[in-house]
């Protein structure tokens, strides 16, 4: 019988706990690492995560520990379910204990501020693992814990990683689809948190269903626009990690980011909203990072920028809404009909494009000049060759006919005509009439030259 892979989950939050129990339900040995010793004791003894999922019974195959080195040293697959702010520090604690053959999967839906790094990029640079992936999708931890039918996406460049996670987590209530667009899947999970906050605010303000629909679809347009500018595949956002995750997080009060937005819509401060939640809402930090990155890259993101003004500059929500509704009316799906740019930084973007176009034209002109010069040199050499062939043919003709006088007369005429044309070309005033010219100066045509040989010479 094949030995089952050992699974480790780093993190004691609701999603990490749910993932640990799914793998345990599939008969895999699971170790879950937590910082809180009392919480680890509750999991081992009461089979409950009393802080985050108190009503959910955890599978007996899950063993909790507070020793992170012990947790990773014997693992074959490691799920890193740590909030983005602490993600790198936890990974660095165990980087010396990790092996290249271990599969490492990030479940965090956030972005690191320093360097604007996604969690998979941190895993690639901070660990020796050759099997990196991410897990993302419409996955509310409490519903997974209740074993409600759920689907997710595992994204990796590595086929072994994708197939291994599908095998470990796939069951009758949790379906795992595969993708090779690691960047797109991860960005989808991070960006949708922004719009969940906006959706929560809209719900608290009592907006209609038309408004909710408009908000979600324009949010999807913004997400895909930004992600594509970062190198993602726009088609990824038509799947679970894009529109799927966006729908559930923008419509469900179980979503942490939705709840933060709802509290803000009720008039509470950002600090009060986050403290009331009691858990990490990645969207708050993501709004600031993505808005700044969008300004830097000149990506049009009116929803994210408007939400930034509300959260961090205390702009009234009503003013932001008026600005959004009175803004530019452009295309719906810009991957079908390209967006037309106008005001704001879009104008600067257009100017830069025109500048680049002019530079390209200048480069083309330069190479055309080079090509023309080469053409002229080659043509000159061909002319010399033809002249030489002409002389040679005349020599052969003389040898055959024996008419020496005819040979001298024709050769002299050819040489003098050719020499005069070269001389006139080199001394012609090109500033008054640039080359190539269509006519010689009056009275100076080669045909009228007094020194040209005649029949009397």
Give the active site residues. Answer: 192
Q: What is the three-class DSSP state of 55?
A: strand
Angstrom distance (rounded) from CA 143 to CA 244: 15
The residue behind tokens 């680890």 is 40
Q: Which two tokens stand for residue 199?
A: 């959706």
CA atoms within 13 Å, Cβ hemisphere of 419: 9
Q: Residue 296: how many CB atoms within 10 A of its CB? A: 9
Q: What is the three-class DSSP state of 433?
A: coil
* Helix, strand, coil percentages, rounded to 5, for the chain: 60, 10, 30
Q: Are 164 and 15 in contact (CB under 8 A)?
A: no
- Long-range contacts of the stretch 140-143 (C-beta < 8 A, 24+): 140/248, 140/252, 140/254, 140/255, 141/13, 141/14, 141/15, 141/17, 141/18, 141/52, 141/53, 142/14, 142/53, 142/56, 142/254, 143/254
Environment class of residue 320 by beta-carbon count within 10 Å: exposed (0-12), middle (13-18) or buried (19+)?
buried
- 275 CB-near residues (< 8 Å, 6+ apart): none
Q: Following DSSP, what letter does each residue of 123-175 receive, concatenated? A: HHHHS--SEEEEEESS--HHHHHTT--EEEEEE-S-HHHHHHHHHHH--SSEE
Q: Which two tokens stand for residue 430?
A: 């090109």
Angstrom distance (rounded) from CA 302 to CA 299: 9
Going by C-alpha positions, the residue among 62, 9, 56, 52 that lies closest to residue 34 is 9
**Type and span of the H or E element at 57:** strand 53-57
Dihedral of CA 414/418/423/428: which sign? positive
- 101 CB-near residues (< 8 Å, 6+ apart): 76, 129, 130, 131
């Amino acid at each position: 019988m094949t030995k089952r892979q050992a699974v480790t989950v780093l993190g004691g939050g609701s999603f990490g706990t749910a993932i640990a129990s799914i793998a345990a339900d599939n008969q895999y040995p699971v170790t879950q690492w937590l910082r809180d010793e009392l919480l680890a004791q509750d999991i081992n003894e009461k089979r409950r995560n009393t802080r985050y999922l108190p009503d959910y019974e955890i599978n007996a195959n899950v063993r909790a520990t507070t020793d992170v080195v012990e947790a990773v040293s014997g693992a074959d697959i490691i799920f890193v379910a740590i909030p983005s702010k602490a993600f790198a520090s936890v990974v660095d604690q165990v980087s010396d204990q990790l092996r290249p053959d271990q599969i490492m999967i990030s479940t965090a839906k956030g972005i690191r501020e320093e360097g604007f790094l996604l969690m998979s990029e941190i895993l690639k640079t901070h660990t020796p693992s050759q099997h990196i992936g991410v897990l993302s999708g419409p996955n509310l931890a409490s519903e997974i814990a209740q074993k409600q039918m759920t689907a997710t996406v595992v994204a990796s460049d590595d086929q072994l990683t994708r197939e291994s996670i599908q095998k470990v987590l796939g069951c009758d209530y949790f379906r795992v689809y595969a993708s090779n667009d690691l960047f797109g899947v991860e960005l989808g999970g991070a960006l949708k948190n922004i719009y969940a906050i906006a959706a929560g605010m809209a719900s608290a303000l009592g907006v209609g269903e038309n408004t909710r629909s408009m908000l979600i679809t324009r949010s999807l347009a913004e997400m895909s626009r930004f992600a594509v500018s970062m190198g993602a595949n726009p088609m990824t956002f038509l799947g679970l990690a894009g529109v799927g995750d966006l729908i559930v997080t923008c419509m469900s009060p179980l979503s942490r980011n939705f709840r933060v937005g709802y509290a803000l819509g009720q008039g509470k401060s950002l600090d009060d909203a986050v403290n009331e939640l009691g858990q990490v809402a990645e969207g708050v930090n993501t709004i600031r990072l993505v808005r700044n990155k969008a300004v830097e890259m000149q990506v049009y993101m009116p929803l994210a920028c408007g939400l930034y003004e509300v959260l961090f500059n205390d702009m009234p929500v009503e003013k932001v809404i008026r600005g959004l509704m009175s803004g530019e009316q452009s295309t719906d799906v810009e991957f079908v009909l390209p967006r037309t740019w106008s005001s704001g930084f879009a104008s600067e973007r257009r100017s830069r494009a025109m500048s680049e176009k002019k530079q390209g034209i200048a480069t083309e002109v330069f190479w055309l000049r080079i090509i023309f010069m080469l053409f002229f040199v080659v043509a000159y050499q061909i002319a010399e060759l033809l002249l030489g062939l002409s002389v040679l043919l005349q020599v052969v003709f003389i040898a055959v006919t024996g008419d020496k006088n005819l040979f001298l007369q024709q050769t002299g005429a050819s040489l003098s005509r050719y020499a005069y044309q070269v001389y006139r070309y080199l001394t012609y005033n090109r500033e008054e009439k640039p080359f190539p010219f269509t006519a010689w100066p009056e009275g100076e045509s080669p045909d009228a030259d007094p020194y040209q040989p005649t029949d009397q010479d």
